[in-house]
Amino acid sequence: MESAQEKLRSEVTELYESRPYPPIGTWSLLASGIRWEERQTLNYKAAYAAAYGTTAGAALTPRILVAGCGTFEPVVVALANPQAEIVAVDLSGRSLRKLEWNIRLRALGSRIATWKGDVEELPESFGAFDFVVASGLIHHFPDPAKGLHSLTKRAGARGVFRLMVYSKWGRSLLYGAKALAAQLGVRTPAEFRRMIDTLPADHPYRVYFYLYSDARTDSGLADGYLHPCDRPFTALGLKDLLANAGIEASAFLHAPSGQPEAANGFALLPEAGGIWERLQVLEALGELQENFRLFARSTKAEPVKATSWEWNEALPEKGRLYSHLLGKELTFDTSMPPSAFSEQARSELAKAFFLLPGGTP
Amino acid sequence: MNLGWMYASDLPLPSGLKLELVANGIGEMGRRRLATLAQLLGQTEASRVADAAGAYELDDDLAGEVKLRGGVLGPSNEIRALSPNQWAGQSQASSLEDLRSRLEREEGKILGLMLNPDERTRFLAFLARNQVDPDSAPEEIVSLARHFFSHEPMNVVVRYTGPRFHHS
């Protein structure tokens, strides 16, 4: 007999088989390009540098696992990590076929391998990974703690992580509408849109629905509002989840208003209150405005000694780029030594683009 | 239309029944957010921080997006439900969960909702458009009303039958 968890897994598979996500149009993407900020926050060296304060000791040809990859993310990961070897895993064969088309189109087939199945059952033969990317996956595991453990055990000694996890408070209006839909027996995107139209025009569920850009497509709407297994986290819940899995956050990839220190502008937290307590304040006040996005590392990993500076290879040589993390544009020139910059400029570049000390391990 | 769960606000409540002020779903979210802050900061500081955080307003781009699609925002593009300075005002109302627990303890029962004529018209239209049987059980109707109403707390009509009420 099928267990409750197996049943949920079947329902999740069915969701993505019928509506692969994200619903990326190949040609529209070619036209619009891929945002630089995505590359920065999907870059292995950036995650490593955030974890260890240096790029010394980082793998030269990193092995990257993209878990719950969907139809497109591994392509962005490949562009963000030009030397990497990537394994992309998803439950949905139809999503993977769309991904494979995108991979072939960009001639990335030699660097990205796909595997269909549950990441918890990824064969040992795939080996250990330097960087594990799980964007929008952990909250969809029937048992998030077990699911996260299945990812951490695949990371090598100095493996690093890039996670995106749903925020309970950030999505509370979505969950309200989802609960109403469940009560009304709404099952399809078309029925859901009809239900939204029956709410008053100023109803917060309806306003949020209009702001939820994914809801413009059936796949996005189903992923957000009709998902059979969706377990969001509060900041403190996520803190516990990570701690139990033996990993810790090394950087939050939120806009400035969602960075932990932004909480100091609202409340005087006791000294004992750490980054997660500050995030919880921001989350409750609605200041986070997005899901949790973070780099993480194992709590047991040894520190790395740095001897010089190194620039992030995912960046162009010089120029002016907008930083989502700082909320402003920065100018930089990699031909200039770090000593040519002021302390503040170095600190901003480190935070925005993960320009950090490097050298020989 | 004679719906057993509907009580008109312009008529006296039949004897033996009682009105309970219950937060709607949106108000409940605010109460919970405030409670989350209170766990970290203490009740007084949480209320001060929520008040100081002020209104939740969308920037012009997002507000334009909402309006273009037919949505309506408050003055200054506020989403009142998300405004921290509104949360304290929800505290006089119970949560529906708390009311249910109390009714279970005291052998009470939800009988329906008290609505004014405007609320009645809008809520019945909502039920009809979603093909909800208007003769559904009062509990189910109140659960739906909790989602539908997003501004003021609901007036839930209950009857207590437990010993406390027989002897008090």
What is the predicted pLDDT for the residue at A140?
Answer: 97
Regarding beta strands A308-310 and A356-358, do their DSSP bridges make them parallel or antiparallel, or are they unpaired?
Answer: antiparallel
Q: pLDDT by residue (tens digit) across A166-195? A: 999 999 999 999 999 999 999 999 999 999
Q: pLDDT by residue (tens digit) across B83-136? A: 999 887 766 778 999 999 999 998 899 999 999 999 999 999 999 999 999 899
Regarding beta strands B154-160 and B108-115, do their DSSP bridges make them parallel or antiparallel, or are they unpaired?
Answer: antiparallel
Quote the CA–CA distance of A356 and A297 in Å, as a whole number: 17
Q: Is residue A161's pLDDT more than 50?
A: yes
Q: Report whether A348 contacts A342 (CB < 8 A).
A: no
Question: SS3 for A227?
Answer: coil
Taking residues B25-32, what's their average pLDDT?
A: 92
Tokens of A323: 């930083």
Q: Is residue A31's pLDDT more than 50?
A: no
Quote the CA–CA distance of B38 and B47 in Å, as a whole number: 8
Cβ count within 10 A of residue A236: 16
Tokens of A224: 């957000």
Which residue, among A169, A180, A184, A207, would best test binding to B if mutated, counting the most B CBs under 10 Å from its CB?
A: A207
Taking residues A66-89, what's their average pLDDT?
A: 95
Q: B140 contacts in A (CB within 8 Å)?
A: 183
Q: Report whether B37 contacts B50 (CB < 8 A).
A: yes
Question: CA A123 from chain center: how many Å?
Answer: 23
Hey, CA dihedral for A148, A150, A152, A155, is it positive or negative?
Answer: negative
Tokens of A265: 């502008």
Which residue, among B34, B60, B73, B82, would best test binding to A if mutated, counting the most A CBs under 10 Å from its CB?
A: B82
Residues ≥6 apart with Cβ < 8 Å to A119: A65, A67, A68, A89, A137, A147, A150, A151
Are B122 and A200 a contacting pair at CB < 8 A? yes
Are B144 and A183 a contacting pair at CB < 8 A? yes
Q: Is residue B168's pLDDT more than 50?
A: no
Taking residues A201-213, what's their average pLDDT?
A: 96
Tokens of B18: 């009682």
Q: Is residue A361's pLDDT more than 50?
A: no
Identify residue A80 by its one-letter amino acid code.
Answer: A
How many CA atoms within 13 Å lie on the side-chain side of A4? Answer: 4
What is the predicted pLDDT for the residue at A322?
Answer: 86
* Ramachandran assignment for A175, one of left (phi > 0), alpha (psi -120 to 50 degrees), beta (any other): alpha
Identify residue A343 by its one-letter amino acid code.
Answer: E
Kindly provide the ipTM of the predicted complex, given to two decimals: 0.93
